[in-house]
Structure 1
Amino acid sequence: MRNLLFTVLIAVPMMNLDAQNTNPLLNDWKGKYGGVPAFSEYKVSQFRSAVDVAIADKLREIDVIATLPTPPSFENTIAAMERSGKRLSHIKAIFDIYSSNLNTPEFEAVEADITPKFSEVNNQMYQNKKLFDRIAAVYKSAEMKKLTPEQKRLVTVYYQNFVREGALADPKSKTRIAEINKELAGLFTKFSQNQLADENNLYLALQTEADFDGLPKELADAARSEAKERHLQALGCIANTRSSIEPFLTFSNRRDLREQAFRIFVSRGDNDNANNNNATLVKILKLRAEKAKLLGFKTFADWSLSNTMAQKPQRTLDLMLSVWEPAVLKVREDVAEMQKIVAAEGNSFAIEPWDYRYYAEKVRKSKYDVDANQIKPYLQMEKLREGMFWVAGEIFNLNFKQVYDVPVFHPDVRVWEVSNKTTGKVVGLWYFDPYARKGKRSGAWMTAYREQSRFDGEVMTIVSNNCNFIKGAEGEPILISWDDASTLFHEFGHALHGLCSNVNYPLLSGTNTPRDYVEFPSQILERWLATPEVLNRFALHYQTGAPMPMDLVNRIEAAATFNEGFSTVETISSALVDMQLHLLENPEIDPKDFEAKTLYSLHMPHEIVMRHRIPQFGHIFSGDDYAAGYYGYLWADAISADATEAFTVDGKGLYDKEVAKRLLKHVFSVGNTVDPEVSYPLFRGKKSTTDALMRARNFPIK
């Protein structure tokens, strides 16, 4: 390994200088705000050479740290590691933006080549014995007692990360772990590309005006626009993404077309074509199981949870199953109400998965006098974005100002400068990419292009929110559903977690927390959407400009827990299947058979399918971040529900300034500088329980 590394490094300087003169990806980010990506200068063809140079740079930097003749110290080892690899971090951020937002056939080929290289550089770093020996020396040194709490935390995280990735393994195991990591990286890319291909290439064509029956105007307009964009000989097109399929399933009066749309969506990655993901995901599971054993763990789930709040798989199962039974009972009650409406309409069919959203809307309207089509005219995406900014100002004292001199990667993207309202200090940039398009993965997410830090000079964060809202007719406002509005606030919560970060070291910054804690800040921010303060100011009718009537606001509040059974079952079934997959010691399975048997054992209501079926479960098969970790949404929501009661039960309401100050101080600003088991009770005054979660979902508390 040492000789190979030396050979690579002495061969690099000419290529480095040459590439740096001609490849914009290798340039430092320049301009205001501590520098920003120069998106207008980048080309897909530049990635291969840029990544090679940046990897060589990082390997050189860590080799210098590892071979220093001076004794290991926090400054020359740990702080030096925080300084290393900046160029590679910047290029990786751009690469990930292309992967998620601009994925073309040209980029797919580049992605397949490059992704394993990121894994290789991590392997070389984590398996560098001299480097680990220095980190371990600092971790066990007398100097630790003199360090600040944040520095101690940083040393501990570095040490634990290296151990977790095999730094203490024997040489033979290290070699095999490196091989597995490289192979997994390629399989993750293959899985993602297959899923994206089925989303891009499969769709439901609407051939006649009758096919539009029941669709709200904005959904019908979007379908017509989609058909034109795809150059189809059809009147309309429902794209194979959640943002298109779910509204269609909710409103279409055509049961036959609802079934077609449903089957297209749930079959992604599971079709008899080149994009079938079943063989790929089984390979991933086998490699993960093998890696876990090499690292000294019984299963991949045990390894994956070793650096989380939950720690052990059984704790996650206990939580999920405690919520599962009341959720299933609630679904049974809701389906019975739906069947009454089916009968009243003169039909005798049993509710199927493609009927659930459609009849749930009818029950909601009948039971609470709340009609999604009555709400939607008040939910303009841009007004809700303004509402998010207002909430951020009220809770975290932030101000957002749109700027026009920052390069963007697509014309749809806009940028805001974020500053402290009191001091005027700029704390970061927020990029907003709201619309669906070909080559963009489905769903919604937050990304940090650069982490906040200050140990080596002030570095402000750059974050983005990316969504998949459907563009309507030219010049008309984008109207979104209540669920989409909740998602908008959720992802903005992640962005605020990054923008509020106030730490010294990038590894501990922003959202770099344990996986089952990171969803807590985003989930609690959803609570502000339904407040009268937001709805009265920003839920304005797109035609009249009138605020949402208080009567409707009150009815929305009364129906707040309606359909919680469905959403809970849909999500937890995915989380339970994820955990069971990764508890397998020998995952030689047929995915479809495993999925069916696992759900049968749980008494899964046949009217609902998993939110993410196994062959399209990108959270767990496009990377390791959420593998054996999808439970984290429920885990974090239990914390979020408890934290909400700090405002609504123990405080003066969701706009209580004192509680908000504690939330900022102990949650949103601290990143991973403090163990969540310590920081959360500092905010709340006690540890969280599941009682608040059960109350929030209107489930009985045992």
Structure 2
Amino acid sequence: MKKLLIVLSLALCASTNAQDNPNNIKMDAKNPFLEDFKTPKGTPPFDLIKKEDYKPAFIKGIEQQSQQIEAIVNNKAAATFDNTVLVLDESGEILDRVSTVFGAIRGADSDQDIQTIAEEISPLLSEHNDNIYLNEKLFSRIKTVYDDSLNTNRTTEQKRLIDKYYKSFVRSGIALNKEQKDRLRQINKELSLLSLSFGKNLLAETNNFQLEIDNEQDLAGLPADVVSVAAQTAKAKGLDGKWVFTLSKPSWLPFLQYADNRALREKLYKAMYNRCNNNNQFDNKQIISNLVNLRLEKANLLGYNSHADYVLAETMAKTPDNVFDLLNKLWEYALPQAKKEAAELQKMIDREGGNFKLESWDWWYYTEKLRKEKYSLDEEAIRPYFMVNNVRDGAFFVANQLYGITFKPLNDVSVYEKDVQVFEVNNADGSYIGILYLDFFPRTGKRNGAWMSSFRKQSVKNGEFIHPIIYNVGNFAMPTEDKPSLLTLEQVTTLFHEFGHGLHGLLSHVNYNGLSGTAVSRDFVELPSQIFEHWALHPEVLKIYAKHYQTGEVIPADLVKKMQEAANFNQGFETTELVAAAILDMKWHVITASEEFDVDQFEQDKMNEIGLISEIIPRYKSTYFAHIFDGGYSAGYYSYLWSEVLDADAFEAFVEKGIFDRTTGQSFRDNILSKGGSEDPMVLYKKFRGAEPNPIYLLKNRGFVE
């Protein structure tokens, strides 16, 4: 089966009834999803795909996979790896094609029609998924293969796939009685719809607010290109002669960094952190309470004390205690540093005669001023050296140096939006690897943030190597009429981060779809992405791609030196807001008693317990914490920090041998990137590094220890 839980990008869980066409939908023979895409590289034919193709394709895909499952169950031959596990892993071709494309569109180019389709399809997919994983006859065959695999000469990869499917059935409730299974089915349907509603509300709230400015004096302090983008945004909204700032991060963040008008900074920031918490039709508080309680009930049904216990059982961390141990240790370093930073910012306010207490909407503004004062470093002076396509080429350059791979632009491939870029990826010898899509800019129908996924995962089927088709999505600074997209340092590292995920998908070299690419535990999946960030701002890499967009001048050495000196500036704040969000996620999911939660009070109480200072809020407050309520990171946001222990240690291997050392790069490719989930993650890591990771490098990276 193409995905253990078919997911429509933002965790729209897969599901299934099967045998009939419950909506009596006419199947169009020209529906592109009903057969392999007839394009040169198997890329989605976006020029042929219509919105009305999605639902019929989902229905047909459910029907097809259900028939495939029935064929497995009714096979008279004894259950084997080939006739049971492998057939299951390869089933659902139509469903895979439509779900991957629909998931991409829902995340990056949605509208009301797409949202409606998602709401209609979600319960069908939930049912379908349950029909598979609660199928006792199918499980009986899986168990036969599982029991036999302990005594037969299986490859490590085959054992991993068997084990993954066996545990998926168990963790999906196959051992429950009928009454419990019926309740579980209902819970799964409700959870899928609640997550959809959460994301729909968040997109609406993000799009509905705009800070409209008609007095030029209110733009004081803002760089010219920020003002230009705001004017361009206003013009697009029919507000010529005005300036508009939105809740897209490339819009609100520079306003908080540079706008002198404190009242407007407060207004914009509060609009950002009060999203879906305004007691209107887009409020997410009741959805959160319902989600948390249903997740707990499901975990209890399956024999776990909490949702976190359920989630973590199949990760590197294993238990909530291990997660809290990491988070609390980091908190001991981060919070005192954040308090020092807050005191320093307050001194600056007092020195300037501000006569007010530092608040969260002041932090970015005074941090930017302090950065200039301490390091003579102005981020706006840096941005001209980070044109988005140059940064992209920098990422390509590093991948070429480490792995010998090349990237060729393809201009004849159909895309879902005109600004999406497409590249063919090849090995050094010219052999074909796969396709990479890059979607960089915000749009009304795109959710915030950045992510990677696939239109097709790598595998081997009937002896044929299936090449991956991967995409990266971001929300970077928009180009203006007179300037290209110029990135902040944070956006530079984000581009490298997502590209690292992309490499994990592209360079996968396994046999089975269920183990391909990023199909690894949540707290291991961030290793390939986060290690790639280390090259983004390295001086040896900067001199290759960081060139002034007008003059072509390479970024000056003195500017790079200032960047290095300021590398750990504001690290107390950055670590504190990240750890606070990870702790908030865990607190929501270690609850063991159901109740009607007061979401605001719960969040405040948990942040008070850890002593979070009022000048900092968690990176994501609950009502817009999409990672955990409309994504796959519930009880998993800690993963970024868990993986940082790995990536900080792993990068030391490159530091020791040279950051472009091909032998080390090949080892990382062979032992990490190519392996997907085909072996235990710590086994893979030790094959690359020779030992388990040393957490001291994370602390050094963040400037907490020498």
How many residue pairs match? The answer is 689
Provide the aligned C-alpha RMSD in A: 1.7
Task: Please give the per-residue CA displacement for 1:20-41, whole angstroms capped at 9, x wherever unaligned.
Answer: 41423323212212x1111111
Question: What SS does structure 1 have at the residue aligned with 2:582?
Answer: helix
**Structure 2 CA distance for partners of 1:656 and 1:587, relative to 1, 3 Å:** farther
The answer to whether the 8 A contact 1:282-1:587 is kept is no
Match of 1:451 in 2: 457
The question of 1:656 aligning with 2:661 is answered yes
Q: Secondary structure at the match of 1:377?
A: helix
Deviates more, 1:157-166 or 1:382-391: 157-166
Q: Please tell me whether the aligned partners of residues 330 and 565 of structure 1 are also in contact (alpha carbons under 8 angstroms).
A: yes
TM-score (norm 2): 0.95
Partner of 2:326: 319
Contact 2:478–2:485, Cα closer than 8 Å, also in 1: yes
Change (3 A) 1:604 1:8: closer
Matched, 1:157 2:155: no
Which residue matches 1:179?
186
More displaced stretch, 679-688 vs 204-213 = 204-213
Is 1:533 paired with 2:540? Answer: yes
Compare 311-320 and 162-171 and name the one that shifted more: 162-171
Whether 1:125 and 2:125 are equivalent positions in the alignment is no
Aligned partner letter, 1:392:
A
Check the 8 A contact 2:391/2:545 in 1, yes or no.
yes
Selected match of 1:621 from 604, 625, 629:
629
Q: What letter matches 1:53 in structure 2?
A: K
Cα distance change, pair 647–79 in 1 and its aligned pair in 2 (3 A): same
Q: Which residue of 2 aligns with 1:686?
A: 691
- Give distance in 2, aligned partners of 1:117 and 1:520: 34
CA-CA distance at 1:508 after TM superposition: 0.5
Q: 2:605 aligns with which of 597, 600, 606?
A: 597
Q: Structure 2 regions of 5+ residues with no counterpart?
A: 1-15
Q: Could you tell me how far 1:454 is from its partner in structure 2? A: 1.4
Alignment identity in percent? 38
Which residues of structure 1 form unaligned runs of 5+?
1-6
How much does 1:344 deviate?
2.3
Q: CA deviation at 1:212?
A: 1.7
The more displaced of 487-496 and 202-211 is 202-211
Whole-Å Cα distance in 2 between the matches of residues 369 and 78 of structure 1? Answer: 61
- Counterpart code for 1:656: D
Residues in 1 aligned to 2:562 and 2:149: alpha-carbon distance in whole angstroms: 62
Tell me how far apart the structure 2 counterparts of residues 470 and 687 of structure 1 sit (CA, whole Å). 39
Partner Cα separation in structure 2 for residue 22 and residue 260 of structure 1: 51
Aligned to 2:256: 249
Letter in 2 for 1:54: G
Distance change (3 Å), C-alpha of 1:615 and 1:8: closer
Instruction: Pick one of 283, 287, 290 that aligns with 1:283.
Output: 290
Alignment partners' CA distance in 2, 1:428 and 1:333? 48
| Aligned residue type for 2:679 | V
Correspondent of 1:699 among 673, 698, 704: 704
Deviation at 1:13, TM superposition (A): 13
* Cα distance change, pair 538–652 in 1 and its aligned pair in 2 (3 A): same
Match in the other structure for 1:670: 675
Offset of residue 181 of structure 1: 0.5
2:209 corresponds to which residue?
Answer: 202
CA distance in 2, matches of 1:218, 1:406: 32
2:405 is the counterpart of 1:415: no
Structure 1 distance, partners of 2:23, 2:111, is: 31
The 1:381/1:8 distance shift into structure 2, 3 A limit, reads closer
What is the distance in 2 between the residues matched to 1:225 and 1:370? 28
TM-fit CA distance, 1:143 = 7.5
Shift of 1:475: 5.0
Q: Please give the alpha-carbon distance, in whole angstroms, between the structure 1 residues aligned to 2:402 and 2:259.
A: 39
Change (3 A) 1:23 1:142: closer
8 A contact 1:243–1:469 mirrored in 2? yes
1:143 to 1:603, Cα distance in 2 relative to 1, 3 A: closer
Stretch moving more, 335-344 or 271-280: 335-344
- 8 Å CA contact retained: 1:219, 1:472: no
Equivalent position amino acid for 1:676 in 2:
P
Residue 26 (str. 1) matches residue 34 (str. 2): yes
Q: Tell me, yes or no, if the aligned pair for 1:225 and 1:472 is still in contact at 8 Å.
A: no
- 2:99 partner amino acid: K
Kindly provide the amino acid, as one letter, of the partner of residue 363 in structure 1: L
- 1:59-103 Cα offsets, whole Å, 9 max, x none, are 111111122111000000011112200110110011111211121
- Aligned equivalents of 2:457 and 2:557: distance in 1? 41
Distance 1:243 1:443 in 2: 10
**Deviation per CA, 1:91-120, whole angstroms, max 9, x where unpaired?**
001111121112111222221111222211
- Aligned partner of 2:390 in structure 1 is 383
SS at match of 1:447: strand
Q: Distance in 2 between matches of 1:42 and 1:99?
A: 14
Do 1:326 and 1:700's aligned partners in 2 also have CA atoms closer than 8 Å?
Answer: no
Q: 1:636 aligns with which of 625, 628, 643?
A: 643
Q: Secondary structure at the match of 1:19?
A: coil
How far off its partner does 1:520 sit?
1.0
Q: Secondary structure at the match of 1:140?
A: helix
Q: How does 1:190-269 map to 2 (within 5 A)?
A: 190-232=197-239, 235-269=242-276
Q: Distance in 2 between matches of 1:269 and 1:509?
A: 36
Match of 2:433 in 1: 427
SS at match of 2:426: strand
**In structure 2, do the counterparts of structure 1 residues 285 and 143 end up closer, same or farther at CA, with 3 Å as the change threshold?**
closer
The alignment partner of 1:683 has SS state of helix
1:369, CA displacement in angstroms?
2.1
